[in-house]
Amino acid sequence: MLKLSDLLRYSLYETKEAMVSLEKEIHYMENYMELEKIRLEDQTEIVFENKVNDITKRIAPMMLIVFVENAFKHLSVSGNKKTECCLNRNR
C-alpha cells in the first residue's frame, strides 16, 4: 500500500513542476516495478540496474515511466520470463 501511495502522491503533486530530479523519477520507477513484481508473482524475473552517476540532474516529470510501462505491456504479450531495464550513465 505504501508503494501505491507513493506512486499516487508523485503523480498528483510532483508532476506539477516543470522539472524534477532524476532521483525522484528513478524512485517512482522502482515503486512501479515493485508493484508489478507483486502482480506478476513468480511468473517473471525483473532486473533493474541503475547506472546513473548524477541523480541530481533534472528532467521532465513522468518522462521515463512510459518506457517501463511499455516494457511490462509487451512482456505480457510476448510471454517472456525475464525483463531487464537498465538506466545508463549520462555522458
Number of Cα atoms under 13 Å in the Cβ half of residue 4:
6
Domain ranges of the chain: 2-87
Whose cell is 520507477? That residue is: 29
The answer for residues whose C-beta is within 8 angstroms of residue 68's C-beta and 6 or more apart is: 29, 32, 33, 85
pLDDT tens digits, the chain, 91 residues: what are they? 888 898 899 899 988 889 999 999 999 999 999 998 888 877 777 888 888 889 889 999 999 999 998 888 877 655 555 545 555 544 4
pTM over 0.95: no
